[in-house]
């Protein structure tokens, strides 16, 4: 980080300097040049200001990275039933830890979860830190944050991975703020450098670019990851690693929130679990043409998916949206019909086993990630595809 300093004695033409800034961040006050909150640190004023504006790099105190060791995974669960995103994160944590020769930890918080903790040892973690207290039976942000902080202070993990679930999205920012560290949400790619710096990649600016984010001067490093983005390791018959039962003073587990009653939510059918998906994009010209897409999905016994424009048009339910602003999916097969393949959509489905794309634009981005592709009009190809499938079924 750095800051801009104005050398008032070198300011010759205030109006000229004000005109340099494309963001309107420079203004005159009482005959002096000042910088306001519109500044984007583009440094055009430094480059073209003839020495009137100077950029000074602020010194950041280096952190002792040797004191922070290991990759930790927060265990997301409901009454001890572990959310599958946890196993996906364990798989990624093992991959990262192997590169830097460090341990994999799991943080398990709840009540009556001691028996459930052993399941994590079938996935190759080194240590499971279990906080099992009556006060932790229901998720409440204050006690869970305190326990999470206690875990960090005891273990000092270099990086922490949290599932981007309802609980994870609430808990991770609170913990990150407490340790004054960075948190990257909805990462699609994670890697680690030899010095244990976590490389966090996610779409930014509406999905137009892939941003690489690093927090080299902060520990722990924290990232949230959506379900179905990473690959879960195979469950092993034998267990490895061990469980540590951690004690914590009940006085520190008080909360201003009192849970009066819990009403179980009806389990909804989610497109995230589908094995075959037919997805429609802007190439579908009208709502009545969705019948063609629905028929293709029907003959394949597939789920119907769509990109954001079709959801906003009301042609399909929002629960069927695929992408970072919708659902992340990982089917065995996805057929992309008239979809250009913007980053926002691709990040939500590019880990599918097989991607089959149909688009009349040979330069469409979807072909860069597709395993198979047909360049052509969906209005010509899909009806033929439906007939072929029906013929095969009849045969």
Annotated binding residues for FAD, as ranges? Answer: 282, 307-308, 321-325, 359, 377-378
Whose tokens are 């629905």? That residue is 294
Burial class (CB in 10 A: 0-12, 13-18, 19+), 308: buried
Place of tokens 């929130």: 257
Question: Which CA distances in Å does 69 have to 54, 158, 162?
Answer: 39, 5, 17
Residue 65's contacts (CB-CB under 8 Å, 6 or more residues apart) are 158, 195, 196, 219
How many CB atoms lie under 10 A from the CB of residue 124?
20
Report how far Cα 105 is from the mean position of its chain's Cα atoms: 20
Longest dimension (CA), the chain: 88
Cα–Cα dist 295/302, whole Å: 10
Element (H, E) at 78: strand 77-78
End-to-end CA distance of the chain: 67
Pairing mode, strands 127-132 and 53-57: unpaired
Q: 3-class SS at 327?
A: strand
User: Between β-strands 372-375 and 221-225, what pairing exists: parallel, antiparallel or unpaired?
Assistant: unpaired
Q: Taking Cα atoms as reference points, which of 247, 236, 221 lies closest to residue 129?
A: 247
Instruction: Report d(CA 137, CA 78) in Å as an integer.
Output: 10
CA dihedral 132, 137, 143, 148 (to 10 degrees): 50
Binding site: residue ranges?
282, 307-308, 321-325, 359, 377-378
**Are 325 and 308 spatial neighbours (Cβ–Cβ below 8 Å)?**
yes
């Amino acid at each position: 980080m750095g800051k801009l300093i104005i050398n008032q004695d070198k300011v010759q033409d205030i109006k000229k300097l004000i005109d340099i800034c494309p963001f309107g961040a420079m203004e005159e006050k009482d005959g002096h040049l000042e910088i306001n909150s519109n500044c984007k640190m583009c440094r055009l004023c430094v480059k073209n200001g003839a020495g009137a504006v100077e950029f000074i790099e602020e010194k950041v105190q280096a952190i002792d990275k040797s004191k922070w060791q290991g990759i930790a995974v927060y265990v997301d669960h409901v009454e001890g039933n572990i959310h599958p995103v946890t196993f996906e994160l364990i798989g990624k944590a093992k991959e990262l830890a192997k590169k830097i020769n460090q341990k994999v930890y799991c943080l398990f918080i709840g009540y009556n979860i001691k028996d459930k903790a052993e399941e994590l040892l079938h996935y190759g973690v080194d240590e499971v830190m279990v906080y099992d207290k009556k006060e932790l039976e229901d998720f409440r942000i204050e006690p869970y944050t305190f326990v999470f902080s206690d875990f960090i202070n005891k273990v000092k993990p270099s990086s922490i991975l949290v599932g981007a679930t309802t609980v994870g999205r609430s808990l991770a920012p609170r913990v990150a703020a407490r340790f004054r560290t960075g948190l990257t949400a909805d990462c699609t790619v994670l890697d680690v450098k030899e010095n244990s710096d976590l490389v966090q990649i996610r779409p930014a600016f509406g999905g137009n670019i892939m941003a690489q984010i690093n927090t080299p001067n902060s520990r722990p490093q924290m990232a949230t990851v959506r379900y179905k983005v990473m690959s879960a390791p195979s469950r092993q018959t034998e267990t490895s690693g061990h469980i540590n039962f951690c004690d914590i003073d009940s006085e520190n587990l008080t909360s201003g929130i009192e849970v009066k009653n819990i009403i179980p939510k009806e389990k909804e059918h989610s497109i995230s679990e589908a094995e075959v998906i037919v997805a429609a994009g802007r190439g579908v010209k009208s709502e009545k043409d969705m019948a063609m897409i629905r028929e293709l999905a029907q003959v394949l016994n597939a789920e119907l998916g769509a990109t954001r424009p079709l959801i906003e048009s009301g042609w399909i339910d929002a629960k069927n949206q695929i992408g970072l602003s919708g659902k992340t999916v990982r089917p065995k097969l996805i057929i992309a019909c008239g979809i250009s393949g913007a980053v926002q959509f691709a990040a939500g489905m590019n880990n599918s086993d097989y991607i089959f794309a149909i688009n009349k634009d040979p330069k469409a981005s979807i072909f860069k990630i597709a395993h198979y592709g047909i360049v052509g009009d969906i209005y010509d190809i899909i009806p033929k595809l439906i007939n072929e499938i029906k013929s095969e079924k009849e045969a």
